[in-house]
Each structure stands twice: as C-alpha cells, then as structure tokens.
Amino acid sequence: MAILEVKSVTKSYGKGWTALSRVDFSLREGEFVFLVGSSGAGKSTLLSLITMEERPDSGKVAVAGFDSETIKNEEIPLLRRKIGVVFQDFRLLREMTAWENIAFALKVTGQPRKYIKKRVFELLSMVGLTHKAQSYPHELSGGEKQRIAVARALANNPLLLLADEPTGNLDPRATDELLELFFEINMQGTAVFMATHNTALIDLSPKRVLELENGVLVGDRSAGAAL
C-alpha cells in the first residue's frame, strides 16, 4: 500500500525558476528510498511539499491519508504527527537536554507524563544514548545530536521518516553509524525517504534510488539495481 504518492507535481518560485517539474512517484509502506541529486536539484523542495509546508503549483501530494488538494490548515499538525523529519542541522533546542528535546515532541501532542517518560527512555535506548539523557546539545558530538534528532522524529510513531541530508555535517564514522540506525528503523516497519547528494551512501546498501536533476525525476532505480 502506498503511503506517499507524488503525482505530476510542479513547483515554481518567483519568475522563471522551476524547482520541480512534473515529478511522479510513490512510496510503499516500509520501503526505504534514497533521493539523490546535486545541490539545488529540488530535494528539499520535494520534502517541504511532503510535509505540506508548501503546496504544489500543479499536481498533488498524498501522504498518510492526507491530500495536498484538500488538506485544511488545522489538519496539518495531524499529518506532521505521522511524519518524522530529520535535518542536516539537527534542529535541537539548545536550552533543553537530550531527554527534554525528545519529550518535547510528545508534550506538544498532549501525551500523558507517564507515557512520555516510558517512550523517551525507549527511544534513547534505540539510538544508544541513554547515558547522554541529561546532556545539552552543545555537550554532544554531531553524530549524537543527529541520533537525538532521529529519536525525536520517531517519538510519535510516524509512518514515514523523512531525512534531509542527515549526514551532511557528520564525519565518515558517524555517517556509517547513522545509516545503520536508519536501516534498523526501516526494518522495524517505518518507511524512510532520505535525501542526499552523497552517492557513496547509496553504495553501502542497495536500496531504491530516485534521481532528481534540475527539478526533474530522471531516474527511479529499484532496490538492488546498479546506479
């Protein structure tokens, strides 16, 4: 069953700059997909359309039961609870500890305190950072920060985990560790859609690869096929 459908989507900005042009693909439940392309290819734009931060100029995006053509503003928070997002710059709150950063995602969605405590502990264990629960972001390494960000993205049990260049600020070792974590998460049933311009990542594991070039989808390589 498709949890994400992007149908003939076009998005332009200003005069004459088309970020995406008639992009068409879908993502099944539990699938792991890399989205590759150079800087400016349209990867981040595509991710912002999936989170409904923006709407396409034409075509439609359907994700987790919501549709860009019909979704109301007050429904967007409900969609966002079904999608976890991880960014290159981590986006942790500086004034909160690792524990509090993860708990924040549960607090704002109205989860009870007891559940938050249990869930945060589970997530910290999953990412291997229970010993860093009381550390602030400035006390964590790049890899640790990103793993906390992943834990936060998983807090509300999303159907789909979006990652926008998650390894962009990490060293090779941290990159490998993070990728392993994403594969583990995927094995547990969460679909993963990872945007990257690092083709070396793709070589580490043969997953489906979508290739974006100047806003156009130029390739859709199935899992296992050579790039």
Q: Which is nearer to another protein, 73 or 222 (CB)?
A: 73
CA proximity to 196, closest of 51, 45, 43, 19: 43
- Containing 219, the helix (H) or strand (E) segment is strand 216-221
Find the binder of another protein among 93, 187, 200, 204 (CB under 8 A): 93
The reply to whether 13 sits near another protein by the rule CB under 8 A is no
Whether 107 and 116 have beta carbons less than 8 Å apart is answered as yes
Q: Which is nearer to another protein, 60 or 107 (CB)?
A: 107
Find the binder of another protein among 2, 76, 126, 133 (CB under 8 A): 76
Task: Name the pairing type of β-strands 17-28 and 2-13.
Answer: antiparallel
Alpha-carbon gap, residue 50 to 71, rounded angstroms: 12
Work out how close the CB of 179 gets to another protein at its nearest, in angstroms, rounded to a whole number. 22
Alpha-carbon gap, residue 195 to 164, rounded angstroms: 5
Work out how close the CB of 171 gets to another protein at its nearest, in angstroms, rounded to a whole number. 25
The backbone torsions φ and ψ at residue 84, rounded to the nearest 5 degrees and listed phi first, read -100, 140
Stretch that binds another protein, among 74-82, 171-179, 184-192, 213-221 (CB under 8 A): 74-82
Whether 137 and 145 have beta carbons less than 8 Å apart is answered as yes
> Which structure tokens are listed for 123?
């997530």
Stretch that binds another protein, among 10-18, 79-87, 111-119, 136-144 (CB under 8 A): 79-87
Segment 135-164, which members bind another protein (CB under 8 A)?
152, 155-156
Whether 199 and 36 have beta carbons less than 8 Å apart is answered as yes
The reply to whether 85 sits near another protein by the rule CB under 8 A is yes
Find the Cα–Cα–Cα–Cα dihedral 83, 31, 192, 154, rounded to 10°. Answer: 50
Stretch that binds another protein, among 29-37, 77-85, 139-147, 198-206 (CB under 8 A): 77-85
Find the binder of another protein among 17, 29, 89, 91 (CB under 8 A): 91
The reply to whether 28 sits near another protein by the rule CB under 8 A is no
Binding site for another protein (CB under 8 A): 51, 73-74, 76-82, 85, 91, 93-94, 104-105, 108-110, 152, 155-156
